[in-house]
Structure 1
């Protein structure tokens, strides 16, 4: 199932909202909201941009989670709240996304519960930190989740950086091709490098919200792939 927001419904809502506000108001609404959640949007002055362009582009720059928060806040503005049909559409848009976000998180929680409680705890902490916009904590915790999972799968107590040889052997034993093993290890190398350079000893102030979200998603993909390998016959 596609976990993106309903595009047709989103366009319909944008078409109605653009007629309720001036270009400058849309600039203020989208830019101030993006700043409040640690994200950036492209259009910061009206210039030659139409109201539709301002709204569509700046909303598209936001993560799906931020879009949901933006529309949830938008409903509280009197011009919007006075239009019950529009409010219903916004509620429908939000409702279409929230279960998918929750399902993804629950799926990972259930997946990790087959291993050990400390792995599940680290994962849950990463979600809590992320929801609270404490991104250093979120990235640290999801890195710990991955590190603990590898220790469990490989039967040792090595750090993430020192698992490469045994991890390569583990993947080959689970019928992963040498080309894909090399690709996987390169991806893991890059993930570690960014974590070490930008996160491990610093607040990740040089990373944008979308880059932080990418790192979180990358770790989830790695975790899901390792679990699938572990649960398939050698």
Structure 2
């Protein structure tokens, strides 16, 4: 549940940013906006802070008492805040409200320049990967395609946490392949979807040059994956940004045109 920390310099502005983030979030809890996300028993905010239901939830799911500063909605530390928000997402927020809650948390993270993204109940470090405009745009709608979303978020987490680049890039391919499968209604591999995608775009009245551009991109994308990821482990970590952006651009175009 606890993410990798990247703020080690005591002279940086992280503590101030966290305070602003937490103030915005607690104000959301106090002004009633937060109540849209949670069941009735979690909606009581007293003059001294959270009601007893929150304390019992901590004990039930984390096996410990709720931190005092969290309970009174006081000036909490980042580790406490992070743990609290993850707990809220996993065990408190209504299932059909989770995407809205996630969007709200990411709005606050961006507003106060905290270098994390909140994805599916976890905070990941927001380096060049997660900060790409193409990526953030895809994250706004990818949950409509659950298989693609699962693979896409897994790739982002691995890349942002500097984990296995080969598996991360393969997850990107799987995300694209899963999206196309959902949209086209087939179970074919990415390579075998390229010609049908071209035909579908043509039937939608897409200009021939655009069809050629998209299918050419897909051909080279699939070849890169097969040659360097699927059959060999020769992926270049410096290609990560290119693959991330290409994946997002292709996914968005196919979704916009054929979804």
TM-score bucket (shorter structure): 0.5 to 0.7
Matched position secondary structure for 1:95: coil
1:202 equivalenced with 2:224 (yes/no): no
Q: Which has the higher helix share?
A: 1
CA RMSD in angstroms comes to 3.2
Name the structure 1 match of 2:218: 188
Greater strand proportion: 2
User: 1:1-234 counterparts in 2 under 5 A?
Assistant: 72=7, 75=9, 81=11, 87-88=12-13, 95=113, 101=131, 105=135, 107-115=137-145, 117-133=146-162, 134-204=164-234, 206-207=235-236, 209-231=237-259
Shift of the 103–190 alpha-carbon distance from structure 1 to 2, 3 Å rule, reads closer
How many residues align? The count is 149
Change in Cα spacing, 1:98 to 1:184, as seen in structure 2 (3 Å) is same
Please state how far the C-alpha of 1:104 moved relative to its aligned partner.
5.7
| Unpaired runs of at least 5, structure 1 | 1-68, 82-86
Q: Which residue of 1 aligns with 2:121?
A: none
TM-score relative to the length of structure 1? 0.54
With over 3 angstroms needed to count, the CA separation of the structure-2 counterparts of 1:215 and 1:106, relative to structure 1, is closer
Moved over 4 A (4+): 96-100, 102-106
Do the aligned residues in 1 keep the contact of 2:158 with 2:165 (CA within 8 Å)?
A: yes
